[in-house]
Chain A
Amino acid sequence: MPFDNEKENESKRETEPEAAPSEAKGVLVLGGGIAGIQAALDLADARVKVHLVERGPSIGGRMSQLDKTFPTMDCSI
């Protein structure tokens, strides 16, 4: 999913990162497609904090664009 706001003006960036949250250490998952979603769910259900990072405006990735999946022909959403 191409990233519409990529060419953001550098000068607009606030340089100081916000303070790191002091809560329980989690896992960073990069990518919100079917693989990222599955990994995030398995971790979260095992009581692990997950930060799921997705470049586009919505998770779902390519599978959400498919009509159906083989071999079951189930709905992809």
Chain B
Amino acid sequence: MMDVGRHPNVELLTLSELVGLRGEPGDFVATVRRYPRYVDEDACVGCGDCEAVCPMVAPNVYEHGLGARKAVYRPFPQAVPPAYMIDRDVCLNEEAFLACSKCADACPRGAVDFDQRVRDVDVNVGAVIVATGFDEFDPRVMRNYGYGIYENVMTSLEFERLLSASGPTQGRVVRPTDRKPPRRIVFVQCVGARGEGGQHFCSRFCCMNAVKDAMLAKIHDPNVESMTILYTDLRAFGKGFDQFVQRSHEVDEIRYVRGRPAKIVGDGGGDLTVYAEDTLTGEQVKLDADLVVLSVAARPNETARALAETLGVELNRYGFFRKRDPDSFYLETTRDGIYLCGSAGGPQVIPDCVAQASGAAALAAKHVAACRVPDEVVEVEALDTSGDHRVGVFVCHCGANIAGLLDIQNLVEYARGLDGVVYAADELFACSDTSQRAVQDAILEHKLNRLVVAACTPRTHEPVFRKACEAVGLNAYLFEMVNIRDQCSWVHVGAPGAALARARDQISMAVARARRLEPLHMIDVPVERTALVVGGGVAGLQAALEIARQHFKTILVEKTNKLGGRLNKPSLTKLYPSGRDAEKLIREKIEQLEEAGVEILLNTEVARVDGFVGNFDVELADASGKKKGATKKARVGAIVLATGADLYEPKGEYGYGRHPNVITSLDLEQNFAANAGRALVDGKHPENVAFIQCVGSRCEGGNPGCSRYCCPTTIKQAMMLREHGANVTVFYKDIRTISDGAEEMYRAARGNGVLFVKIAEDDKAEVIGDKAAAAVEAYDVLLKSRVRARADLVVLSTGMVPREPDTTILQSIFKIPRGEDKFLMERHPELGPVETTTDGVFIVGCLQAPKDIADSLSQASAAAAKVARLLARDSVKLEPTVAEVNEELCRGCGQCVEICQFNAPELVQLAPDVYVSRINEALCKGCGTCAVWCPTGAVVARHFTDLQIHTMLETVLQGETDK
């Protein structure tokens, strides 16, 4: 968020909306209406003097009305831009024309400007991305839930603000009526979703959000007695989501009850009673609650209709932006040049949202690939850091995250007394723009040559402070960050005294280390502006296509003799939800690939890869086994891996392999293909078909998580069978129809007479029969009896597992770690879904985790955007925090070469029998293993030198002896 505000290539137009669009893809003129802020954005530094004097108070919308703000305000401390604004509806200086100008008088920079007017600005753009998100369903229409009647019934987003340390209660979970911590909380799912309140779709994010909130509520208040989640199906469909739900089972207070409330009634004193039917036991349940949280569904953004009209695009039947092709692609609207991402096209979870956003960026970029702007070179004169150490220390409150437990003033005073410290101060949110400016001012004013910030985690915020340092000429590596939030205030909630002592120790260590830091400079390496895509399935095709369309040379390799992977007949016939022919999609993509000039190499596999980001040397080999040795060598700057997953192979369970009429969903798909869409088994069309879900998913021995594609696939196949009159029964644990149109398909299937039998999480359906399957039997938890469905065909809906040996080979070539589920691991589950820990190597499609076609294509497009970020320049900057060798101390023993996982050190012969180790900086990850191992101390891990580490240890141990 901060990055986008400061990016030289981003023009931020807040308080603005699109009012006109003319022209065509590649050459649009957009008219943007800019509403007045009444505060000059450039002049305002966010000091807050105006707010202090403003006499008017209004509810704070950002806090969902749970807090208050002034007429002149900033929505939240880390707002971007950081400028204040005036709400003229509340301001006295509006219609009443009272001559109140207290804020203008108080502003030291003269930033308040009551004369600002609405103005229209034209911008020339090649493409448009719609990312307008969603609005929340208003639960007031469901009067039986009591929202708006009882204060202690709140929405999930309101509850989220209560949990937030920067929220209106500083993270204390209290209920609105008496401000007391609720002991009994009930979460109600699907409020306004899946048929409730007139909306039929599933909002995707609410199940996991409720689980998360319940877990957080327990952390915030260990005395909470019970938290009940009233759910319909638990849709933990994403990577790692099922495992997340498993973690919640370890919290004793969290209880899951399947059912929806009939009504929620208040007793007049703030306590509530939730009446519901537990649909698993069939019993009426009466839950006493101090607080009820309604997981409200998403609904289309209120501006969607007007915006769609301005853009000339269509909305779908619910009012979300319509996807041109919901079967396979979520990123295109119904008009060329206008793309879609996130919840504007229907509710999304954050990882999918982020992948779609990057994907939309790739699609939009192709219209303007010829007008890339040159990098802005900002020359900042380096500060003179010689002379005595002058350390500045900033201690961050992080709202109440840190200040709620630790005495910040105590820490500031303590820091002030440490050797070398010439300045110490505290900041409410050190990451906010205003605080960053304060830090920069202090660096200049007090001539600081070392900076220490005690705040949150360097994982997310170190880059923010490094940039702030660089902007005023202080070398970024003279900055040291201390994590007193995660490591002190969060983990030692019950022991404030000890937490404070620990924070003091950590700060003293950081200051000691800061004094030993040395300036380092980024390493510049050239970039070969060519991309390699490995795998010619639909994800690989899409990635290659979108890279090539941005004018980058692209090579696509496919192991088999045919592009299209699993989308080819006979693996797949029709796409859900439309029933469109799958092969047609592949044919279109191949035509587009050829048009875009992608070099396609069939029967080819990657034999060897050397090098590093921007400079991978790849050896390709013949995969058919006919030719030996490398068939082609290429140097590429970036690599996209898209080798897919395998379908789980049942190992004899459910009679598979013994009974001829027990087949997998893939077998059925092939059967459809061979028989013109009508299944044929032993010369007969099956009359009674039973599907068994989650075979090899959500279990040991297969994929521990959800395989995502199988529920909608089964429903599609069930509908195809039903069309020809077959009786179809589906044995399932949860129906997770989360893809576009799938929930509707599910409803239609139920309407068409497909029977659904819900079995318990830990139960298994049983296939009955001697030589062939005759029936499937299981305990139906909803009917509460054992159910037997006759079956002359049993279909096992198999999940996805990592493809072997391909995944293992790629893992060893590229050093990409694998997750608990054995799929290759992305850099960050929410924010880096296609990047890996290896720079320049990206993973898309089912190689990363099971997903369906549309989600695979979003990810593939996202990887194209990431590749473009890299290939848009002739060189790439790498971290200088790598190992280096003191050649005078090195005796050339070669132990570092042996121990390094990344092949960074190399022995170089200087004279006969005289060797030294040299480190390839671009390959080195700075892990420090070689520095520890080196018997002569010749290898030094930069930025983590022995001297720096020893100084820290000495400091903390010295402190111990002093005590």
Q: Is the CB of A37 within 8 A of B4?
A: yes
Q: CA of A57 to CA of B550 in the docked complex: distance in angstroms?
A: 33
Q: Is the CB of B160 within 8 A of A65?
A: yes
Known contacts: A18-B119, A59-B1. The answer to whether A39 contacts B15 by CB under 8 A is no
Binary contact track A15-54/B, C-beta < 8 Å → 1, others 0: 1011111011111111111111111111111111111111
Please pick, from B30, B32, B238, B354, the residue contacting A38 in the complex, using a CB distance under 8 A: B354
**Interface assignment of B13: CB less than 8 Å from any CB of chain A:** yes
Residues of chain B within 8 A of A71, CB atoms compared: 208, 212, 238, 240-241, 243-244, 829
Q: Is the CB of B209 within 8 A of A70?
A: yes
Residues of chain A within 8 A of B124, CB atoms compared: 20-21, 25-26
**Interface assignment of B127: CB less than 8 Å from any CB of chain A:** yes
Q: Which residue of chain A is the closest to B358 with respect to CB atoms?
A: A42
State which of B336-344, B443-451, B684-692, B902-910 sits at the interface with chain A.
B336-344
Residues of chain B within 8 A of A43, CB atoms compared: 9, 361, 364-365, 865
**Majority SS at the chain B contact face:** mixed
Please pick, from B125, B209, B211, B829, the residue contacting A28 in the complex, using a CB distance under 8 A: B125
Known contacts: A24-B372, A47-B872, A55-B17. The answer to whether A8 contacts B35 by CB under 8 A is yes
Q: How far is the CB of B76 from chain A (nearest CB, A)?
A: 7
Q: Which residue of chain A is the closest to B81 with respect to CB atoms?
A: A58
**Interface assignment of B180: CB less than 8 Å from any CB of chain A:** no
Binary contact track B84-119/A, C-beta < 8 Å → 1, others 0: 010111000000000000000000000000000111
Please pick, from B119, B216, B307, B358, the residue contacting A14 in the complex, using a CB distance under 8 A: B119
Residues of chain A within 8 A of B121, CB atoms compared: 17-18
Residues of chain A within 8 A of B5, CB atoms compared: 59
Q: Is the CB of B368 within 8 A of A25?
A: yes
Q: Is the CB of A25 within 8 A of B868?
A: no
Residues of chain B within 8 A of A20, CB atoms compared: 29, 122-124
Known contacts: A50-B11, A57-B79. The answer to whether A24 contacts B373 by CB under 8 A is yes
Residues of chain A within 8 A of B18, CB atoms compared: 28, 30, 53
**Interface assignment of B765: CB less than 8 Å from any CB of chain A:** no
Q: CA of A46 to CA of B341 in the docked complex: distance in angstroms?
A: 18
Q: Is the CB of B354 within 8 A of A44?
A: no
Residues of chain B within 8 A of A3, CB atoms compared: 15, 35
Residues of chain B within 8 A of A7, CB atoms compared: 89
Please pick, from A14, A27, A42, A75, the residue contacting B128 in the complex, using a CB distance under 8 A: A27
Residues of chain B within 8 A of A27, CB atoms compared: 125-129, 361, 364-365, 367-368
Known contacts: A13-B119, A28-B123, A55-B303. The answer to whether A39 contacts B240 by CB under 8 A is no
Q: CA of A34 to CA of B29 in the docked complex: distance in angstroms?
A: 25
Q: CA of A66 to CA of B28 in the docked complex: distance in angstroms?
A: 35
Q: How far is the CB of B454 from chain A (nearest CB, A)?
A: 16
Q: Is the CB of A72 within 8 A of B829?
A: yes
Q: Is the CB of B869 within 8 A of A42?
A: yes
Residues of chain B within 8 A of A28, CB atoms compared: 18, 28, 30, 32, 123, 125, 127-129
**Interface assignment of B828: CB less than 8 Å from any CB of chain A:** yes
Q: Is the CB of B354 within 8 A of A34?
A: yes
Q: CA of A51 to CA of B18 in the docked complex: distance in angstroms?
A: 11
Q: Which residue of chain B is the closest to A10 with respect to CB atoms?
A: B118
**Interface assignment of B525: CB less than 8 Å from any CB of chain A:** no
Residues of chain A within 8 A of B130, CB atoms compared: 30-31
State which of B163-171, B274-282, B716-724 sits at the interface with chain A.
B163-171
Q: CA of A33 to CA of B76 in the docked complex: distance in angstroms?
A: 15
**Interface assignment of B505: CB less than 8 Å from any CB of chain A:** no
Q: Is the CB of B372 within 8 A of A54?
A: no
Q: How far is the CB of B128 from chain A (nearest CB, A)?
A: 5
Known contacts: A30-B132, A42-B358, A51-B13. The answer to whether A25 contacts B36 by CB under 8 A is no
Residues of chain B within 8 A of A37, CB atoms compared: 1, 4, 357
In B1-60, the 8 Å CB interface with A consists of: 1, 3-5, 7-18, 26-32, 35-37
Q: How far is the CB of A47 from chain B (nearest CB, A)?
A: 4
Residues of chain A within 8 A of B303, CB atoms compared: 55
Q: Is the CB of A44 within 8 A of B61?
A: no
Binary contact track B813-833/A, C-beta < 8 Å → 1, others 0: 000000000000000111000
Q: Is the CB of A47 within 8 A of B372?
A: yes
Q: Which residue of chain B is the closest to A26 with respect to CB atoms?
A: B125
Residues of chain A within 8 A of B171, CB atoms compared: 67
**Interface assignment of B801: CB less than 8 Å from any CB of chain A:** no
Residues of chain B within 8 A of A55, CB atoms compared: 15-17, 303
Please pick, from B36, B61, B75, B348, the residue contacting A5 in the complex, using a CB distance under 8 A: B36
Please pick, from B4, B26, B35, B829, the residue contacting A40 in the complex, using a CB distance under 8 A: B4
Known contacts: A33-B133, A48-B368, A77-B78. The answer to whether A39 contacts B361 by CB under 8 A is yes
**Interface assignment of B751: CB less than 8 Å from any CB of chain A:** no
Q: How far is the CB of A33 from chain B (nearest CB, A)?
A: 5
Please pick, from A5, A31, A67, the residue contacting B342 in the complex, using a CB distance under 8 A: A31
Residues of chain A within 8 A of B241, CB atoms compared: 70-71
Residues of chain A within 8 A of B80, CB atoms compared: 58-60
Q: How far is the CB of B32 from chain A (nearest CB, A)?
A: 6
Q: Is the CB of B119 within 8 A of A8?
A: no
Please pick, from A13, A30, A31, A56, the residue contacting B75 in the complex, using a CB distance under 8 A: A56
**Interface assignment of B866: CB less than 8 Å from any CB of chain A:** yes
Residues of chain B within 8 A of A61, CB atoms compared: 133
Q: CA of A31 to CA of B342 in the docked complex: distance in angstroms?
A: 10
Q: CA of A33 to CA of B347 in the docked complex: distance in angstroms?
A: 13
Q: Which residue of chain B is the closest to A1 with respect to CB atoms?
A: B61
Please pick, from B11, B31, B157, B211, the residue contacting A65 in the complex, using a CB distance under 8 A: B157
Q: Is the CB of A64 within 8 A of B12?
A: no
**Interface assignment of B235: CB less than 8 Å from any CB of chain A:** no
Q: CA of A57 to CA of B37 in the docked complex: distance in angstroms?
A: 8
Q: How far is the CB of A68 from chain B (nearest CB, A)?
A: 6
Q: Is the CB of A60 within 8 A of B79?
A: yes
Q: Is the CB of A5 within 8 A of B87?
A: yes
Please pick, from A46, A54, A72, the residue contacting B13 in the complex, using a CB distance under 8 A: A54
Q: Is the CB of A70 within 8 A of B865?
A: no
Q: Is the CB of A48 within 8 A of B125?
A: no
User: Which residue of A24, A29, A74 has the most chain B CB atoms within 10 A of its CB atom?
Assistant: A29
Q: Is the CB of A65 within 8 A of B4?
A: no
**Interface assignment of B460: CB less than 8 Å from any CB of chain A:** yes
**Interface assignment of B375: CB less than 8 Å from any CB of chain A:** yes
Residues of chain A within 8 A of B243, CB atoms compared: 71
Known contacts: A5-B87, A30-B307, A38-B357. The answer to whether A64 contacts B123 by CB under 8 A is no
Residues of chain B within 8 A of A33, CB atoms compared: 131, 133, 342
Q: Is the CB of A70 within 8 A of B212?
A: yes
**Interface assignment of B667: CB less than 8 Å from any CB of chain A:** no
Residues of chain B within 8 A of A18, CB atoms compared: 119-122
Q: How far is the CB of B113 from chain A (nearest CB, A)?
A: 14
Q: Is the CB of B11 within 8 A of A36?
A: no
In B219-266, the 8 Å CB interface with A consists of: 238, 240-241, 243-244
**Interface assignment of B350: CB less than 8 Å from any CB of chain A:** yes
Q: CA of A30 to CA of B128 in the docked complex: distance in angstroms?
A: 7
Binary contact track B631-653/A, C-beta < 8 Å → 1, others 0: 00000000000000000000000
Q: CA of A33 to CA of B171 in the docked complex: distance in angstroms?
A: 23
Please pick, from B37, B78, B129, B373, the residue contacting A47 in the complex, using a CB distance under 8 A: B373
Q: Which residue of chain B is the closest to A19 with respect to CB atoms?
A: B122
Q: Is the CB of B431 within 8 A of A77?
A: yes
Q: CA of A12 to CA of B99 in the docked complex: distance in angstroms?
A: 20
Q: CA of A70 to CA of B32 in the docked complex: distance in angstroms?
A: 35
Q: How far is the CB of A54 from chain B (nearest CB, A)?
A: 5
**Interface assignment of B396: CB less than 8 Å from any CB of chain A:** no
Please pick, from A46, A57, A58, the residue contacting B865 in the complex, using a CB distance under 8 A: A46
Show 7 residue pairs from A and B whose CB-CB distance is below 8 angstroms, ordered by the A residue. Answer: A18-B122, A26-B123, A26-B368, A27-B126, A36-B357, A58-B79, A73-B216
Known contacts A12-B117, A24-B368, A42-B868; can you find 8 more A-B pairs with CB under 8 A?
A: A2-B61, A18-B121, A23-B373, A28-B30, A55-B303, A60-B76, A65-B62, A70-B211
Q: List the interface of chain A (C-beta within 8 A of B).
A: 1-8, 12-15, 17-21, 23-75, 77
Top 10 closest A-B pairs, CB basis?
A35-B342, A58-B79, A38-B357, A36-B131, A31-B131, A44-B9, A42-B361, A47-B372, A35-B131, A31-B132
